[in-house]
Amino acid sequence: MEAAQPAPVKGKRPLLKGIFLLTFIAAAVAAVRFTPIKSYLTPGELGRLLEMSGIWGPAIFILVYAAGVCLFLPGTLLTTLGGAIFGAWQGFLYVWIGAMLGASAAFWIGRTLGRDLAASLVGDRLVKYDEAIERNGFATVLYLRLVYFPFTPMNFGMGLTRVRFWDYFFGTALGIVVGVFIFTFFVGTVRDVWRSGDWNGLLSGKVIFSVALFVFSFFIPRIIKKIKGE
């Protein structure tokens, strides 16, 4: 059983840590938007880097993915890169591992720098929701992942709540499996057809299945919400 959450810290320390968290987020967004980082995140550029890395290529991609999550790079961009570079099956594995590392790191940053300030700001009207998230952490995280709640903001945001880390970890691990698999399978399948040069392959059963899965993925949030409502 995990230890109870410590009492909120008073004084200037939570405020200073909160300011540092906001500064980190602003710097991360600015680094991606106003520096050449994003120009290297293309299948061609990143693929060349990973090819030169040899057997270390998958490990480097996983680290790039994890860092990208913390830098607020769009998850769809990073996932597309994984499927385009490694294909459907390896892409799924490397993307999932990278996403879990990034999600865990972002949660830790949010918990370390922002939880004390968030706890000090939670009033009587909100504390019951904070406590409910702690009691039902796994189910809450799993539900939000299945309805495609924005990935990176949720990683940092959950760190501000009382949710236990392992509830967050396993809820995320299970909740992103479907989305990651569908996206990497679709991108990886299209990549294989493009590489083969046989455009008749676009009418193959595998491609049609991947497109059907991709389209179905947009209905998952609606289906989950309907089930939960009932």
Residue 88 token pair: 């459907």
* Residue 171 pLDDT greater than 70, yes or no: yes
User: Would residue 197 count as lying in a domain?
Assistant: yes
Q: How many CB atoms lie within 10 A of CB 42?
A: 14
Residue 133 confidence (pLDDT) above 60: yes
Residues 54, 28, single domain; the answer is: yes
Question: Would 77 be classed as within a structural domain?
Answer: yes
Phi and psi at 141, nearest 5°, equal -65, -45
In this structure, the answer to whether residues 163 and 202 fall within a common structural domain is no
Q: How confident is the model at residue 202 (pLDDT cuts 50, 70, 90)?
A: low
Helix, strand, or coil (residue 198): coil
Q: Are 109 and 20 in contact (CB under 8 A)?
A: no
Are 119 and 24 members of one domain? yes
**Side-chain-side CA neighbours of residue 84 (13 Å):** 14
Burial of 211 (0-12, 13-18, 19+ CB in 10 A): middle
Of residues 48 and 79, more confidence is placed in: 79
Do 147 and 186 lie in one domain? The reply is no
Same domain for 221 and 127: no
Check whether residue 121 and residue 200 sit in a common domain.
no
Query: What is the Cβ-side half-sphere exposure of residue 82, based on CA atoms within 13 angstroms?
Result: 34
User: Does residue 205 form part of some domain?
Assistant: yes
pLDDT band at 1 (very low <50, low <70, confident <90, very high): very low
Examine residue 3 and state whether it is found in any structural domain, yes or no. Answer: no
Query: pTM to 2 decimals?
Result: 0.79
Determine contact, residues 191/83, Cβ cutoff 8 Å: yes
Is residue 122's pLDDT more than 70? no
Average pLDDT over residues 77-82: 88
From 143, 160, 177, give the residue that closes a domain. Answer: 177
The predicted structure's pLDDT at residue 219: 74
7, part of any domain: no
pLDDT digits (tens, 9 = 90+) for 98-116: 999 999 999 998 888 877 7
Q: Are residues 173 and 197 in the same domain?
A: no
- What whole-number distance in Å separates Cα of residue 80 and Cα of residue 58? 15
152 domain residue, yes or no: yes
Residues 170, 198, single domain; the answer is no
Stretch 30-39: mean pLDDT, rounded? 72
Residue ranges in 71-204 assigned as alpha helix (H)? 75-86, 88-121, 124-135, 137-146, 151-159, 165-175, 177-196
Structural domains of the chain, count: 2
Of the ranges 41-45, 148-152, 161-165, the best mean pLDDT one: 161-165
Confidence band, pLDDT 50/70/90 cuts, at residue 194: confident
Residue 128 lies in a domain: yes
Type of residue numbered 46? L
3-state secondary structure of 7: coil
User: Residue 217: which domain range?
Assistant: 180-229
If asked whether residues 112 and 216 sit together in one domain, one would say: no
